């Protein structure tokens, strides 16, 4: 097995201190090329001490540089170079974003890509190798479209959107500002609808609608979002989907609702705002789910749910009720033992 | 956020009336470029009134054109242009198909694609950008293979097949006439099989079989269908899979069976004809499921199921039985309250 | 529907006998081009008789060649050519591997692919059409990277790795020796993590870690493995994932653990060695699962599990306990009937 190093970027301690408005304690030429947890640090990494529970790691960490609080008092000598800052947590977040931005600092249109003639896009577009954008589509400013992406006809893509490798977007889709689409997700495939003919064979229902993602939506890897039969499948502002989520035709998901991995939502269901849906939960078709609803992992929702409710089970009932019943379910063998005595006594009586 | 219009196609009222054998009432130069529901219509859309429950929308709709029944009597003036037809539902379906066909009216072989020399195909083939077809494969008539598709060696593709962007078809697969494969689906990956060696390590079992899709099969986005160990994984005529369905090695699915999203079927199970399998259901390996079986959403099937049965639960039992038991499950806290009194009384007695 | 033949390879009986150290009985010029089960054999196939239960098929099989035991005594004449070997099962396995190897005997770098200048790789690399490898990545010996694959920056790939069409590997991933990645799987997408700002909006957490697959790991079609927030998401030696499995950020899976299709594992959970996880099971975040744990299909694991435990249910409890309780659950309508009599009697009394 070959071992790799993050060789692309090196940062020296004095430079980092400048960025963060901090002060170096130790060798200001110490360099790092990655970030790590304080307990896992190695010679090329920068860590931080953001919680006093981890103070002991300060003296044993192999991290080359550690961010610490201005006021921290050392109990022993430290082999790492320290950078003292006002708030190590915030400073570390700042560095995390810096490293991420560096990685996505991509620009230019690959000569091995295809953009149809009448597509509108901005000068700062990044468009990767073997990617395709069909005719009549529009792409906003500061957009990064990675390699092997497919964008169909009449697609509209907003500003500051990131589309990772292998994403497929069918015709007529609308992608809002600041959306992130992870590798392999499919936007706008046909909904699953059939009419039975006289011989009981399935006749396909045409899907002429589209998918609309409003601003700040994030779609996980290998998710699938079907286009509407008519009208639109809509994900409102700030909706976040984890990986392998299925959103069927004509579904509408309210603002800032967060959906964990492997969830399935059947056709025409309307989900409210600020809901949280746990992993592998499923929602039947044509339902109405209120706002701030919590659907526990693995729940199967077969009925409408009112706002501010938490549900669990198959079919899903109120979370607390499910748990109370489940306690007795687990206890059924013991209960039955006592009960069978009663039955016996009552027969004997 | 940029807003888009479906700019590719405009149709005027007189032209639509011609197509449908209808009569225009109003301005026959009114043009539309999309279809909509009557309650959502806008200036560029055509709607229809197919159900008297929606009559009120006729007077408030912003749709430019509305299809109505020959016999409909207006109660008030209507701002939309009307087209009177014999059956508005059927006429609208006709237009849905017309719009869909327009979109898929693709032809030609991309110069940025790769087809191996000895592949047989018809003059009318559409073969998209960055798609690949390996040697010894055969492709029928009127086939549309979109962009970034991979077709391995010795693959056979029938007539009038549509393969959407990013589909991957492994060697030796057979795809029947009129099949539709949605974006990102994988046909013919290795089955999941291992033998343990003496040290308890997993040794991979070779998978030399293939996948056969008979005629009129539709496969949803990001589904995965594994090849057989020996022989074939087979989906019979008219089988329809929604998105993210997993079909393991050596599975056989009977004619016209319909499978909702996120279902998993383990190796070597045989499913009958005209079954309906609900979302996120799972079927263990080496089982035999009869014909016309209904497997409710989220069910876990661990045993054979006879024809004409409906099942639910984990492990799945008869649907009605599950529901009866679940009523009591939900009621267990109340039942236990009464029961504990009985227990107490019986001890006291 | 067009029918296909496996036309790429023909083997004659005398040649096969040579390979296996066997003896031909019949026409040693008989040729085959595929392997089959003895009950399904046709004129172009070779089968084997590995179990005396199947002896009858020997006299009815249409297979051109059948491998039989040296000691087998014929009861009737056989139309197939026989090859006598010491152990028909092992000899057949040998041929299975031979056929598989033939298929994957690929070499050369496609001129329609892109490998960045400073990527290190071996002369024997196979690199398919429209595949991409970004800068600073390293690829070991005897590696086969199929078509339309994406490999990001700083990726390390070991020796004898096979990567099937359409796989996407994000920057900084590490792939060990002898790994197999099936079509459409995504390695290293962002984890799913958000902090709420003061207005309740989701602010994305940067994911700067990576994914590490140790040696002999196999990843099924369309699986998704998220990179760590910091540090690594790790699959230890010999881990096998079936299709459509979701592995979240910072998860660690122990040696030789086998995971069936459609399983989801939430962030930061640690799974032990030699576990078996059934299809569609789910594991919540931040849990610790011991070694040799069996998680039954569809289980929902919400708590830590000790080694050598088998669990089932939602939430998962011990397998045997679940089954005992479920027997009573199924019986609840009958139990309630008896119980209601008791309640009635106790009220009457």
- C154-181 pLDDT, tens digit each: 999 999 999 999 999 999 999 999 999 9
Per residue in A265-288, pLDDT (tens digit) is 999 999 999 999 999 999 999 999
Mean per-residue pLDDT, B21-44: 87
Residue whose C-alpha is closest to residue C128's, from C155, C149, C143: C149
Of B190, B282, B328, Cβ closest to residue C182: B190
Chains in contact with A, where contact means 3 or more Cβ–Cβ distances below 8 Å, are B, C
**What percent of chain C has pLDDT above 70?**
96
Of B8, B262, B274, Cβ closest to residue A200: B274
Q: C315: cis peptide before it, omega within 30°? A: yes
Q: In degrees rounded to 5, what are phi and psi of residue C23?
A: -125, 130
Q: In degrees rounded to 5, what are phi and psi of residue B343?
A: -55, -45
Q: Has residue C213 got a pLDDT over 80?
A: yes
Angle made by CA atoms B316, B317, B323, in degrees to the nearest 5: 105
Taking contacts as CB-CB distances below 8 angstroms, the residues of chain A near B180 are 190, 204
State the nearest Cα–Cα gap between B231 and chain A, in angstroms: 27
List Cα–Cα distances, C156 to A26, A103, A210, A330, C219, in angstroms: 33, 17, 40, 48, 16
CA of residue A188 relative to chain centroid, distance: 19
Of A218, A332, A343, Cβ closest to residue C329: A332
Of C220, C240, C330, Cβ closest to residue B202: C240
Mean per-residue pLDDT, C186-193: 95
Question: pLDDT value at position C6?
Answer: 35
Strands C150-151 and C138-139, sheet pairing? unpaired
Residue in chain B lying closest to C336 (CA): B328
Mean per-residue pLDDT, C80-87: 93
Question: pLDDT value at position C5?
Answer: 32
Name the A residues in 273-292 with CB < 8 Å from any B CB: 280, 282, 284
pLDDT band at B38 (very low <50, low <70, confident <90, very high): confident
Residue whose C-alpha is closest to residue C12's, from C23, C28, C34: C28
Question: C275, C291 in Cβ contact below 8 A?
Answer: yes
Answer yes or no: do C8 and B315 touch at CB < 8 A. Answer: no
- A334–chain C Cβ distance below 8 A for any pair: no
Of A8, A97, A100, Cβ closest to residue C154: A8
The 3-state DSSP class for residue C241 equals strand
Residue whose C-alpha is closest to residue B10's, from B30, B43, B34, B33: B33
Rounded CA-CA distance B93/B99 in Å is 10
Q: How many angstroms separate the first and last alpha carbons of chain B?
A: 76
Mean per-residue pLDDT, B224-228: 97
The 3-state DSSP class for residue B127 equals strand
* Number of other CB atoms surrounding residue C111 within 10 Å: 6
Find the range with the poorest average confidence among A5-9, A117-121, A311-315, C59-63.
A5-9
Of B100, B221, B329, Cβ closest to residue A208: B100
Q: Which residues of B are catalytic?
A: 249
Residues forming beta bridges with residue A241, ordered by sequence position: A219, A259
- C1–chain B Cβ distance below 8 A for any pair: yes
Question: B254, B235 in Cβ contact below 8 A?
Answer: no
User: Given phi > 0 = left and psi -120 to 50 = alpha, else beta, which region is C136?
Assistant: left
State the nearest Cα–Cα gap between A212 and chain C, in angstroms: 19
Name the B residues in 312-331 with CB < 8 Å from any A CB: 313-314, 326, 329-331
Rounded CA-CA distance C180/A30 in Å is 39
DSSP-assigned states of every residue in C294-334? EE-TT-EE-S-B-TT-EEETTTTEEHHHHHHHHHHHHTHHH
Answer yes or no: do C279 and B264 touch at CB < 8 A. Answer: yes
More confident residue, B128 or C97: B128
Q: In degrees rounded to 5, what are phi and psi of residue A105?
A: -80, 70
Taking contacts as CB-CB distances below 8 angstroms, the residues of chain C near B174 are 1, 3-4
Answer yes or no: do A148 and C153 touch at CB < 8 A. Answer: no
Question: pLDDT value at position B103?
Answer: 58
Q: Has residue C323 got a pLDDT over 50?
A: yes
User: Given phi > 0 = left and psi -120 to 50 = alpha, else beta, which region is B254?
Assistant: beta
Mean per-residue pLDDT, B106-130: 94
- Residue ranges of domains in chain B, CATH in brackets: 11-102 (3.40.1390.10), 108-322 (2.160.10.10)
Per residue in A281-327, pLDDT (tens digit) is 999 999 999 999 999 999 999 999 999 999 999 999 999 999 999 99
Query: What does R_g of chain A's alpha carbons equal in angstroms?
Result: 27
The 3-state DSSP class for residue A340 equals helix
Strands C31-32 and C11-12, sheet pairing? antiparallel
Half-sphere exposure of A253 (CA within 13 A, CB side): 34
Which residue of the set A207, A249, A286, A328 is catalytic? A249
Taking contacts as CB-CB distances below 8 angstroms, the residues of chain A near B332 are 324-325, 328-329
Rounded CA-CA distance A38/A67 in Å is 10
Answer yes or no: do B189 and C166 touch at CB < 8 A. Answer: no
State the nearest Cα–Cα gap between A73 and chain C, in angstroms: 27
Which DSSP letter does residue B67 get? E
Rounded CA-CA distance C132/C149 in Å is 6
Question: pLDDT value at position A2?
Answer: 28
More confident residue, A10 or B121: B121
pLDDT band at C103 (very low <50, low <70, confident <90, very high): low
Question: pLDDT value at position B203?
Answer: 83
The 3-state DSSP class for residue B148 equals coil
Taking contacts as CB-CB distances below 8 angstroms, the residues of chain C near A341 are none
Per residue in C252-267, pLDDT (tens digit) is 999 999 999 999 999 9
pTM over 0.80: yes
Mean per-residue pLDDT, C91-120: 84
List Cα–Cα distances, B148 to A150, A167, B163, B184, C149, in angstroms: 8, 11, 10, 10, 11
Of C8, C148, C332, Cβ closest to residue B150: C148
- C336–chain A Cβ distance below 8 A for any pair: no
Residue whose C-alpha is closest to residue C192's, from A16, B225, A182: A182
**What percent of chain A has pLDDT above 90?**
73
Rounded CA-CA distance B167/B189 in Å is 12
Active-site residue, A182 included: no
Q: Which residues of A144-162 are buried (b: 16+ CB within 10 A; e: fewer)?
A: bbbbbbbbbbbbbbbbbbb
Mean per-residue pLDDT, C92-99: 82
Give this complex's ipTM.
0.85
Question: pLDDT value at position C204?
Answer: 86
Taking contacts as CB-CB distances below 8 angstroms, the residues of chain A near B93 are 206
Rounded CA-CA distance A238/C203 in Å is 9
Question: pLDDT value at position C7?
Answer: 38
Which DSSP letter does residue B94 get? H
- C184–chain B Cβ distance below 8 A for any pair: yes
Answer yes or no: do C186 and A280 touch at CB < 8 A. Answer: no
More confident residue, C222 or C347: C222
Helices B332-348, A319-330: inter-axial angle, 10-degree rounding: 40
Answer yes or no: do C345 and A342 touch at CB < 8 A. Answer: no
Per residue in A190-201, pLDDT (tens digit) is 999 888 777 777
Q: Has residue B346 got a pLDDT over 90?
A: no
Question: C156, C179 in Cβ contact below 8 A?
Answer: no
Q: Has residue B67 got a pLDDT over 50?
A: yes
Q: Has residue B24 got a pLDDT over 90?
A: yes
Chains A–C, number of C-beta pairs less than 8 Å apart: 185
The 3-state DSSP class for residue C237 equals coil
Residues forming beta bridges with residue A327, ordered by sequence position: none
Taking contacts as CB-CB distances below 8 angstroms, the residues of chain A near B329 are 325, 329
Question: A245, A259 in Cβ contact below 8 A?
Answer: yes
Rounded CA-CA distance A157/A167 in Å is 13
pLDDT band at A40 (very low <50, low <70, confident <90, very high): confident
More confident residue, B10 or C221: C221
Sheet harboring B23-25: ordered strands across?
A: B23-25, B81-85, B65-69, B45-48, B34-35
Name the B residues in 243-272 with CB < 8 Å from any A CB: 243-244, 256, 258, 260-262
Answer yes or no: do C261 and B246 touch at CB < 8 A. Answer: yes
Strands C232-235 and C252-253, sheet pairing? parallel
Q: Has residue A127 got a pLDDT over 80?
A: yes
pLDDT band at B105 (very low <50, low <70, confident <90, very high): low
Question: pLDDT value at position B7?
Answer: 38
């Amino acid at each position: 097995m070959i071992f790799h190093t993050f060789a692309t970027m090196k940062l020296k301690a004095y430079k980092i201190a400048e960025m963060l408005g901090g002060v170096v304690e130790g060798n200001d030429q110490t360099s790092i090329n990655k970030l790590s947890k304080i307990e896992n640090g190695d010679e090329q990494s920068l860590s931080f001490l953001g919680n006093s529970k981890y103070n002991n790691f300060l003296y044993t960490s192999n991290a080359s540089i550690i961010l610490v609080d201005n006021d921290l008092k050392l109990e022993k000598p430290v082999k790492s170079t320290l950078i003292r800052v006002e708030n190590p947590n915030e400073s570390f977040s700042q560095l995390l974003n810096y490293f991420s931005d560096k990685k996505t600092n991509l620009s230019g249109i690959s000569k091995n890509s295809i953009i149809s003639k009448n597509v509108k896009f901005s000068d700062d577009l990044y468009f990767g190798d073997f990617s395709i954008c069909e005719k009549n589509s529009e792409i906003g400013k500061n957009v990064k479209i990675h390699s092997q992406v497919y964008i169909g006809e009449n697609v509209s893509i907003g500003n500051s959107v990131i589309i990772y490798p292998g994403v497929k977007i069918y015709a007529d889709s609308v992608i809002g500002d600041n959306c992130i689409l992870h590798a392999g997700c499919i936007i706008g495939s046909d909904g699953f609808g059939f009419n039975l003919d006289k011989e009981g064979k399935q006749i396909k229902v045409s899907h002429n609608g589209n998918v609309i993602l409003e601003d700040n939506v994030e779609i996980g890897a290998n998710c699938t979002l079907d286009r509407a039969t008519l009208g639109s499948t809509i994900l409102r502002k700030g909706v976040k989907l984890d990986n392998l989520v299925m959103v069927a035709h004509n579904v509408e998901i309210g603002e800032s609702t967060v959906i964990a991995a492997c969830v399935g939502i059947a056709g025409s269901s309307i989900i409210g705002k600020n809901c949280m849906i746990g992993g592998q939960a499923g929602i039947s078709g044509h339902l109405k789910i209120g706002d701030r609803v919590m659907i526990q992992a693995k729940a199967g929702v077969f009925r409408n749910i009112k706002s501010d409710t938490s549900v669990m089970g198959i079919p899903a009932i109120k979370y607390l009720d499910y748990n109370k019943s489940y306690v007795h379910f687990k206890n059924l063998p013991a209960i039955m033992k006592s009960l069978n005595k009663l039955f016996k006594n009552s027969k004997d009586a």
